[in-house]
């Protein structure tokens, strides 16, 4: 439920949770784990940095005060990442109480990784910008689906070029997406297209997945012979390889003799072509009228289901156990206790925080 109304709000990012397991979905509306999942926490902080970056890239469009002359949009964004990340860090520290010592390292690491990912992203984006110009950044849209149930979504960015518009969704991912084909039926993206249409009457031209992979490029390995590794599978980028060559030959790149660079021509060409593709990926997908109409029908059914679960939880919030969903479920021990007649409510009260905290 939202704070200011009795509307039960379904979130575009979690629409499938109701179908995955009604019981887990219901409990997740009422309780949160003692700490956020570090991977999601990192993603939220990175979003804050990206939001600041894209706002500063188009301050005129967004009617914002311009950044001080001396600071670039990337620097402002990193500053915002640090401010937001520190606040988020403090929140986890306080709410996790005596468990913080156990948790702290993973959050330290996530914070540091997110910072470096953003630094690299800004270099990448400067050479490979998204289509169009920023029209809106981080817009919250909420609509009513049926009486008592709403749909809410936070759209990361809308870009515009003339009459064309794209919705951009930032994602942090551990391994990237080898196969983007499922994006064409991805429910979260359809929900964003649907919300945007409901709000503006405009059918977007594309939905862009902007993926930041949680991985950092390395300096190329220095071999026993003293030369640099020429392996094409190494996780590096052209600029780092050039820096390594400058270090190896103790000279600026332009001053390194041509014959010394001959053994490296192939790997340099390869890295130039590859760009940042091992670290950042983008893919676009579209939705037509039929898809939005079909989504709307499914949404109404989901809304009715959600409402009925809330109204009659004992009968309708049944579990859907499976090795696929339960492995990830934060309520696994609670669920087991409920099934075997244990005091599951005591576990919920002692090991979870009340409300949707993270």
Binding site for ligand SF4 (CB under 6 A): 21, 23-24, 319-321, 325-326, 329, 331-332, 335
* Distance from C-alpha of 314 to C-alpha of 310, rounded to nearest angstrom: 9
* Distance from C-alpha of 182 to C-alpha of 207, rounded to nearest angstrom: 13
CB of 321 to ligand SF4, least distance (A): 4
35 vs 165, beta carbon nearer ligand SF4: 35
CB of 23 to ligand SF4, least distance (A): 4
27 vs 280, beta carbon nearer ligand SF4: 27
Token digits of residue 171 = 């994602």
CB of 25 to ligand SF4, least distance (A): 8
Residues in CB range of 60: below 8 A, 6 or more apart: none
244 vs 335, beta carbon nearer ligand SF4: 335
Q: Are 167 and 158 in contact (CB under 8 A)?
A: yes
CB of 173 to ligand SF4, least distance (A): 23
**Residue at token pair 């009968």:** 315
Bridge partners for 9 per DSSP = 150
30 vs 277, beta carbon nearer ligand SF4: 30
* Distance from C-alpha of 145 to C-alpha of 206, rounded to nearest angstrom: 24
Token digits of residue 149 = 């149930």
Q: Are 48 and 39 in contact (CB under 8 A)?
A: no
CB of 26 to ligand SF4, least distance (A): 9
* Distance from C-alpha of 344 to C-alpha of 106, rounded to nearest angstrom: 28
219 vs 328, beta carbon nearer ligand SF4: 328
């Amino acid at each position: 439920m939202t704070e200011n109304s009795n509307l039960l709000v379904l979130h575009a990012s979690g629409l499938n949770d109701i179908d995955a397991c009604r019981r887990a979905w219901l409990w997740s509306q009422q309780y949160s784990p003692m700490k956020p999942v570090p991977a999601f926490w990192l993603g939220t902080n990175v979003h804050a940095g990206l939001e600041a970056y894209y706002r500063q890239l188009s301050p005129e469009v967004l009617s914002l005060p311009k950044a001080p002359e001396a600071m670039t949009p990337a620097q402002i964004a990193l500053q915002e990442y640090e401010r937001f990340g520190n606040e988020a860090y403090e929140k986890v520290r306080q709410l996790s109480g005596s468990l913080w010592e156990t948790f702290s390292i993973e959050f330290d690491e996530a914070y540091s990784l997110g910072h470096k990912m953003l630094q690299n992203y800004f270099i990448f984006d400067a050479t490979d910008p998204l289509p169009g110009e920023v029209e809106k950044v981080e817009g919250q849209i909420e609509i009513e689906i049926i009486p008592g149930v709403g749909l809410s979504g936070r759209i990361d960015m809308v870009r515009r070029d003339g009459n064309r518009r794209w919705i951009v969704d930032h994602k942090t991912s551990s391994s990237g997406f080898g196969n983007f084909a499922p994006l064409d039926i991805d429910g979260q993206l359809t929900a964003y297209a649907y919300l945007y249409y409901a709000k503006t009457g405009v059918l977007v031209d594309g939905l862009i997945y902007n993926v930041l992979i949680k991985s950092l490029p390395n300096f190329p390995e220095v071999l026993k012979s003293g030369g640099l590794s020429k392996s094409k599978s190494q996780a590096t980028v052209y600029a780092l390889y050039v820096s390594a060559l400058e270090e190896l030959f103790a000279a600026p790149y332009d001053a390194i003799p041509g014959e010394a660079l001959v053994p490296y021509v192939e790997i340099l060409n390869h890295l130039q072509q590859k760009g940042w593709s091992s670290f950042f990926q983008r893919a676009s997908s579209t939705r037509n009228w039929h898809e939005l109409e079909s989504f709307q029908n499914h949404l109404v059914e989901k809304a009715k289901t959600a409402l009925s679960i809330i109204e009659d939880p004992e009968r309708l919030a049944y579990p859907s156990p499976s090795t696929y969903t339960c492995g990830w479920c934060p309520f696994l021990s609670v669920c087991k206790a409920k099934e075997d007649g244990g005091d599951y409510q005591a576990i919920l009260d002692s090991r979870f925080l009340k409300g949707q905290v993270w």
